[in-house]
């Protein structure tokens, strides 16, 4: 397939270039002519971007990764239509057996991917080693203290865990972070009552990310900068951010982007099953969730994931937070990929995943192209 006439994001800048996709991969870029019989798409007046990489997502389109393999497969098929090239299905607080079952469902799709779907890069465990003081929409009765033994029980026979969110101030957390680092699992802090000092100490042990910065964690006070302050100040840390303008004010999106730059922020959806569907009643982790005006809340009013799509996060960062597109696009593509060591995603370059996104001059999503 030849995508011609567009303005492509290549090597960190926008440039007039045609893009050829062949055999499921980006084949070449530049001034290209169609080959005999080749399918062509006109991208005149459009931006052509790498497929998005979403490293924190619970559900989409009525599907939830806690319900098993079939739901993860459906997420894979639907997400690619929204421009997502790869994603990391994210578990919720649940019992140990239920968590392990969900991980095995995610692993099945890792091992045998959907032919025409967004690729599953592994699993992100968002529970159960969290603080009850910042529980968000997690289930309190399922939380436990960090423990290598509990991690081993939940992941027996599982080899797909790529990320773990935990509260680094809890007893046992540093030992678990070190073990996860040894195993190549990326550790992230959230649902946490940590001080900034706790977070820096966790980074010394191997923690490299803050999950949904500012949400479900200590606040940034000027004499006690908490989890978000440490995440913004510590150059070893990448911050995941929900850019829906519901979880965070546009000024806060801008502050984080100015602090961390293109390589320090990973835009995430943190979406639940209502993403891509109308307002109404849904579920997250077995709890009723009410979606109104795109905001997903438990009955008590606590935010319960989002209904955000990655292309909407990109548009919000550019048009509402006022951040330059050259800074924003990496935050949805190459930075999240690199933050978990995923090779072959997040760039328009030969050999990379053959999924590209088209957006118009107002940063509205036009469509995803793949082969
Ligand atoms: Zn989440």
What are the residue ranges spanned by the domains of the chain? 1-49+346-371, 52-345
User: Is 2.30.40.10 the CATH number for 1-49+346-371?
Assistant: yes
CB-based neighbours (< 5 A) of ligand 1, an ion: 126, 270
Distances in Å between the Cα of 337 and the Cα atoms of 174, 305, 334, 342, 368 are: 25, 21, 5, 5, 18
Q: Which sequence positions are flagged as catalytic?
A: 270
- Distance from residue 119's CA to the centre of ligand 1 (Å): 19
Q: pLDDT in tens for each of the 371 residues of the chain?
A: 999 999 999 999 999 999 999 999 999 999 999 999 999 999 999 999 999 999 999 999 999 999 999 999 999 999 999 999 999 999 999 999 999 999 999 999 999 999 999 999 999 999 999 999 999 888 889 999 999 999 999 999 999 999 999 999 999 999 999 999 999 999 999 999 999 999 999 999 999 999 999 999 999 999 999 999 999 999 999 999 999 999 999 999 999 999 999 999 999 999 999 999 999 999 988 889 999 999 999 999 999 999 999 999 999 999 999 999 999 999 999 999 999 999 999 999 999 999 999 999 999 999 999 98
The answer to whether 1-49+346-371 and 52-345 have equal CATH topology is no
Ligand 1 center–CA 297 separation, angstroms? 13
Does residue 92 contact residue 66 with C-beta atoms inside 8 Å? yes
Rounded CA-CA distance 245/314 in Å is 12
Report whether CATH 3.20.20.140 matches the domain 52-345. Answer: yes
Q: Could you tell me the distance, in angstroms and rounded to a whole number, from the CA of residue 340 to the centre of ligand 1?
A: 16
Residue 87 bridge partners (DSSP): 54, 120
pTM score over 0.95: yes
Residue 228 Cα, ligand 1 centroid: separation in angstroms?
16
Beta strands in 94-194 (DSSP E): 119-120, 123-125, 161-166, 186-189
């Amino acid at each position: 397939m030849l995508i011609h006439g567009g303005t492509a994001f290549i090597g960190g800048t926008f440039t007039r270039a045609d893009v050829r996709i062949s055999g499921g991969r980006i084949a070449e870029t530049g001034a290209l002519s169609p080959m005999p019989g080749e399918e062509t798409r006109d991208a005149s007046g459009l931006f052509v971007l790498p497929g998005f990489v979403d490293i924190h997502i619970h559900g989409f389109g009525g599907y939830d990764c806690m319900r098993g393999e079939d739901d993860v497969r459906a997420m894979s098929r639907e997400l690619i239509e929204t421009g997502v090239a790869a994603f990391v299905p994210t578990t919720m607080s649940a019992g140990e057996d239920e968590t392990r079952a969900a991980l095995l469902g995610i692993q099945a799709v890792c091992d045998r991917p959907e032919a025409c779907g967004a690729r599953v890069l592994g699993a992100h465990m968002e529970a159960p080693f969290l603080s009850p003081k910042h529980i968000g929409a997690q289930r309190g009765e399922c939380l436990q203290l960090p423990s290598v033994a509990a991690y081993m029980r939940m992941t027996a026979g599982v080899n797909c865990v790529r990320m773990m969110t935990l509260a680094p101030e809890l007893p046992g957390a540093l030992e678990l972070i070190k073990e996860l680092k040894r195993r190549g699992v990326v550790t992230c802090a959230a649902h946490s009552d940590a001080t900034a000092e706790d977070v820096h100490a966790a980074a010394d042990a191997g923690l490299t990310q803050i999950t949904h910065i500012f949400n479900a964690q200590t606040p940034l006070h000027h004499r006690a900068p908490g989890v978000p302050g440490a995440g913004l100040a510590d150059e070893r840390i990448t911050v995941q951010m929900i850019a829906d303008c519901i979880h965070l004010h546009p000024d806060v999106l801008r502050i984080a982007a100015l602090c961390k730059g293109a390589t320090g922020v990973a835009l995430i959806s943190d979406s639940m099953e209502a993403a891509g569907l109308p307002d109404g009643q849904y579920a997250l982790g077995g709890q009723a969730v009410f979606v109104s005006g795109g905001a997903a809340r438990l009955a008590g009013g606590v935010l319960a994931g989002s209904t955000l799509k990655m292309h909407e996060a990109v548009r919000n960062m550019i048009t509402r937070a006022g951040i330059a597109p050259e800074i924003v696009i990496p935050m949805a593509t190459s930075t999240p990929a690199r933050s978990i060591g995923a090779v072959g995603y997040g760039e328009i370059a030969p050999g990379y995943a053959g999924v590209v996104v088209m957006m118009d001059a107002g940063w509205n999503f036009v469509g995803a192209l793949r082969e």
